[in-house]
């Protein structure tokens, strides 16, 4: 049995099983030799495995999650036998948790946060602060991230109380977190005067941390260059934009405002003030009917942006929500979807094409999201 004491986490392994823990002692990942389990900060447990060459993933029911908590704690108890004093004190913190207290973290989380719908995959380890709730538009046909959650913004006082509660919830686990992500969907839609108040709170509660956020084109382009420059100076490091596609008729069919040329101008402005950019492209969206135009116009739009190796093109295999307006419209228009292996092949095509342009490409699978 090996216990690795890192500055930001603890890992236990026995050659088959591996578990990792944050510095508060809460387990984060557990591999039992067959399947991988991930415990979200939100308290849920996600299962990842394979069967017959297929990837399996699902969120465990509460009873199943408690059984995994028990297995992880039993594993940590085994590691305690014969361990050195320094190791024992870390393990004692881990073993101060019970399956029940780990389960109760879910309720504690929900007293601080509204459920967090999505983050970019390279920001899963950020500190998420909900400056706003919902999305200002909320009408893209494919998107159900914020349905039933009208857009609201916290004032500086509420936001400060939220940030302090988040810091208390993370405790020593803050050591593992990198940067602050301002959620939900469009926090940077707020005015500069409101945002500067919120950025002051971020600096007070999480000093020196770079800030990240989503922004959509239709709200982002309304802000002047001076707005972005000011936020850059106050710690904004990069923004993530749901590009979806560079093909304007497809964007319109998705009921998302904007156009490829507006996006090129917007990204040029962001790059001009020194911000990093993450662009999210939905691979397979619009099905076979839009496939070739989506490929061509998306690459064309990307080629016109002053992107560098600091920026990332996130390729998101499109997941259709059967209850969405998108699904209804696709059926009405008799569009054949791109699914399964064909979707993976389409993703590989995009990744190769984006990398051939000298840009960084990364997979963004919303089914893998966890916070």
Binding site for ligand SF4 (CB under 6 A): 135, 137-138, 140, 143, 145-146, 185, 216, 242, 256
- The smaller minimum CB distance to ligand SF4, of residues 203 and 320, is found at 320
* Residue among 134, 170, 168, 126 at smallest CA distance from 154: 134
Half-sphere exposure in the Cβ direction for 257 (13 Å, CA): 12
Nearest to ligand SF4 of 140, 275 (CB atom): 140
Q: How far is the CB of 244 from ligand SF4 (least distance, A)?
A: 7
Write the CB contacts of 174 (distance below 8 Å, at least 6 apart in sequence): 127, 167
Whole-number Cα distances in Å, 218 to 110, 221, 264, 366: 31, 6, 13, 22
**128: three-class secondary structure by DSSP:** strand
Q: Which is nearer to ligand SF4, 251 or 275 (CB)?
A: 251
Q: Are 239 and 232 in contact (CB under 8 A)?
A: no
183 or 195, CB closer to ligand SF4? 183
Task: State the DSSP code for 43.
Answer: S
β 127-130/180-183 pair status: parallel
CB of 82 to ligand SF4, least distance (A): 52
Is the distance from CB of 36 to CB of 27 less than 8 angstroms?
Answer: no
Residue 102 Cβ vs ligand SF4, minimum distance, rounded to whole Å? 31
**Smallest gap, in angstroms, from Cβ of residue 228 to ligand SF4?**
19
Q: Give the shortest CB-145-to-ligand SF4 separation in angstroms.
A: 5
Nearer to ligand SF4, 135 or 173 (CB): 135
Distance CA 136, CA 134 (A): 7
Least distance to ligand SF4, CB of residue 251, Å: 11
- CA–CA gap between residue 182 and residue 213 (Å, rounded): 5
Minimum distance between the CB of residue 150 and ligand SF4, rounded to whole angstroms? 12
* Cβ 240 to ligand SF4 shortest distance, Å: 10
CB of 201 or CB of 267, closer to ligand SF4: 267
In the chain, beta strands by DSSP E: 2-5, 10-13, 18-21, 27-31, 36-39, 45-51, 54-59, 127-130, 132-133, 152-153, 180-183, 211-214, 236-244, 276-283, 312-317, 360-363
Nearer to ligand SF4, 105 or 216 (CB): 216
102: preceding bond cis by omega (within 30 degrees): no
Residue placing its CB nearer to ligand SF4 in the complex, 223 or 256: 256
Measured distance CA(297)–CA(315) in Å, rounded: 15
């Amino acid at each position: 049995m090996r216990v690795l004491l890192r500055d930001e986490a603890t890992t236990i392994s026995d050659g088959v099983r591996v578990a990792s823990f944050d510095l508060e002692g809460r387990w984060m990942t557990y591999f039992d030799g067959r399947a991988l389990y991930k415990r979200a900060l939100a308290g849920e447990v996600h299962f990842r495995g394979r069967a017959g060459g297929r990837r399996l993933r699902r969120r465990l029911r509460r009873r199943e999650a408690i059984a995994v908590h028990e297995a992880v704690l039993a594993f940590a108890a085994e590691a305690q036998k014969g361990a050195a004093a320094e190791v024992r004190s870390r393990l004692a913190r881990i073993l101060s948790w019970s399956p029940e207290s780990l389960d109760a973290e879910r309720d504690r989380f929900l007293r601080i946060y509204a459920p967090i719908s999505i983050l970019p995959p390279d920001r899963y380890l950020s500190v998420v602060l909900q400056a706003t709730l919902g999305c200002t538009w909320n009408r893209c046909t494919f998107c159900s991230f914020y349905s039933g959650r009208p857009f609201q913004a916290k004032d500086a006082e509420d936001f400060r109380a939220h940030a302090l509660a988040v810091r208390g919830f993370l405790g020593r686990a803050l050591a593992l977190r990198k940067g602050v992500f301002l959620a939900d969907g469009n926090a940077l839609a707020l005015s500069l005067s409101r945002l500067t108040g919120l950025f002051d709170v971020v600096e007070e509660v999480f000093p020196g941390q770079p800030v990240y956020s989503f922004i959509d084109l239709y709200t982002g382009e309304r802000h002047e260059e001076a707005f972005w420059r000011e936020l850059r100076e106050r710690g904004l490091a990069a923004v993530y934009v749901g590009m979806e596609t560079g093909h304007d008729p497809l964007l319109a069919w998705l009921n998302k405002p904007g156009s490829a040329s507006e996006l090129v101008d917007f990204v040029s402005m962001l790059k001009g003030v020194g911000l990093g950019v993450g662009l999210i492209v939905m691979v397979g969206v619009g099905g076979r009917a839009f496939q070739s135009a989506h490929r061509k116009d998306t690459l064309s739009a990307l080629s016109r942006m002053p992107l560098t190796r600091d920026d990332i093109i996130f390729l998101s295999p499109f997941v259709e929500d059967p209850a969405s307006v998108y699904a209804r419209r696709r059926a009405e228009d008799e569009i054949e979807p791109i699914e399964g292996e064909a979707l993976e092949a389409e993703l590989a095509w995009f990744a190769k094409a984006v990398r051939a342009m000298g840009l960084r490409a990364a997979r963004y699978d919303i089914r893998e999201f966890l916070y």
